[in-house]
Chain A
């Protein structure tokens, strides 16, 4: 059963008054707000002040060949107000070359590793992140594997493994 969450109309109105333009949509009871990247940090500060104290997730979607997509990288921030249990999904978009969005580690420390993971797997740079290193892939890795133009089988990694035959063993 889809979770029905309480509407966050008051928060949205205050946010659109403070940061415009915002694009608001609702799907299955979940409110999503698209914030322009240059006002993103203001919007997040505003939302943190409005009681959204828990940052549940930071992730990214690569809309390389998605129907109707205008920009390539769509960042997803899932916020929760732990008092009223409201949820809000904030979207920030960035584009090639050098996709960059502001880091929210100064507001929510939870963003530290989540942003590192997005940088690692998507190559989206977070401006103001104190320690933006790769998280799951090795330091020497050069590609960003969750991008849509990166093949499932990898690019060259497997071919460079030493091949051992039964006779060698």
Chain B
């Protein structure tokens, strides 16, 4: 059944083997099941995939180059466009990296607020990923259930910061808007209604014979392979890697909160689906606890740190506020950036999302490297699909949750 994986074969270097009987199928860049623009060149023997060659770069927009020309606060709008199905998580990751480089300590309220929005982003991301897996394997109703709930999260974020998709919510040393009572009320309403929908979704698909047959045992990734090939996030955790940055390197408020890390050992598409379903429940627990314990106090760091813009009240009534506002608005008077470099990562919905920043005294980064989880997951694809049938391609691709904008940047 399985064909021995030929190491590092590409179409050019496939060699003089007699492969004339093989079909070559071009899958994408525009295909309903790729969801975004990515391309696969498949080699088929009948319906069985002998080899796959992923191609990327169709959505390359030079985000890292742009990062060297925009200030730390401006670039957050570009991070929105990386993983656009959970933009807030990218915002949090970017400013987490910036604050690591600058050595800024956030206020307790800000860490809790960022934790809550990052977990809402995780739920929204997993809803899309699992919904799309369901859609690609024929479960359309499931997809609609998932998308209805994503709409609720969009509504919460719109109430919070005015934008549904591209939120640009964080700022250096804080966030753009504090939580209002209405936002908290909406999140509480979501916490109340969402578990019921999640139960419905589980009942629809988790034991559905067709879905289980199409995903169980398909695209198996062993634990050793997952680590060696750099898988992170739900993809690695479904293979038995118990790595979760929220537990292993607690950032924001995660050290104070009680939650479990969802893991599985099978490493197939079904396990990845189950891990994502369970992670949504854990995220709900985190949001619930963080909301209950949400500290009072200021949301941005103080004026003395001169990183976040002071409030209007401070600008008009204190001299420190006026000076700070003036200096932050002036070019080359803003942040004090060390001639140093640092790497900081968060557990984004897809895996480890990190930024490697080099500072050169200026308030734009000298180098803003984004470490996207999707690149390493897409590189896994040929390994996972070899020996499976053509119809498994969409199941494996969906379960890896490749987001082309993040892949190509």
**A binding-site residues for B, Cβ under 8 Å:** 1-3, 5, 27-28, 30, 53-57, 59, 61-62, 66-68, 76, 78, 82, 85, 87, 89, 108-110, 112-114, 117, 121, 130-131, 133-138, 145-146, 152
Contacts and interface: CB of A to CB of B under 8 A. Distances in A.
Interface string B342-378: 1111000000101010101100001101010001101
Contacts of B345: 56
Nearest to A25: B340
A113 B8 contact: no
B121 interface: no
B103 A2 contact: yes
- A3, A27, A55, A134: residue with the most chain B Cβ atoms closer than 10 Å: A3
A5 B356 contact: no
B51 interface: no
Interface of B: 7-8, 10, 13, 56-57, 60, 62, 64-66, 68-69, 99-101, 103, 105-106, 111, 227-230, 232, 241, 243, 248-249, 251-252, 339-345, 352, 354, 356, 358, 360-361, 366-367, 369, 371, 375-376, 378-379, 408-409
The 4 closest A-B pairs by CB, nearest first: A110-B230, A136-B57, A113-B379, A136-B60
Contact of B103 (A28, A110, A136): A28
Contacts, number: 122
A134 B229 CA distance: 19
Contact of A57 (B57, B356, B361): B356
Interface of A is mostly: loop
A55 B379 CA distance: 14
- A1, A54, A68, A108: residue with the most chain B Cβ atoms closer than 10 Å: A1
Contacts of B8: 112, 130-131
A132 B196 CA distance: 50
A112 to B, nearest CB: 6
A137 B228 contact: no
A111 B52 CA distance: 19
A115 B352 CA distance: 18
B40 to A, nearest CB: 15
13 contacts: A3-B100, A30-B342, A56-B352, A87-B343, A110-B230, A110-B376, A114-B376, A121-B64, A131-B10, A135-B57, A136-B56, A136-B60, A146-B64
A54 B270 CA distance: 24
A28 B360 contact: no
A63 B340 CA distance: 12
Contact of B60 (A59, A66, A113, A137): A137
B69 A152 contact: yes
B342 A78 contact: no
B111 A28 contact: no
Nearest to B342: A28
B367 A78 contact: no
B340 A78 contact: no
- B64, B229, B409: residue with the most chain A Cβ atoms closer than 10 Å: B229
Contact of A2 (B100, B229, B361): B100
Contacts of B106: 1
A53 B228 contact: yes
A62 to B, nearest CB: 7
Given A61-B366, A82-B243, A68 B228 contact: no
A61 B358 contact: yes
A102 B60 CA distance: 27
A158 B272 CA distance: 42
A56 B339 contact: no
A13 to B, nearest CB: 22
Given A27-B341, A76-B341, 20 more contacts: A1-B99, A1-B111, A1-B251, A3-B100, A3-B344, A28-B101, A53-B227, A53-B228, A54-B243, A59-B369, A61-B367, A76-B356, A78-B371, A109-B230, A113-B379, A114-B375, A117-B375, A130-B7, A146-B65, A152-B65
Contacts of B356: 57, 59, 76, 78
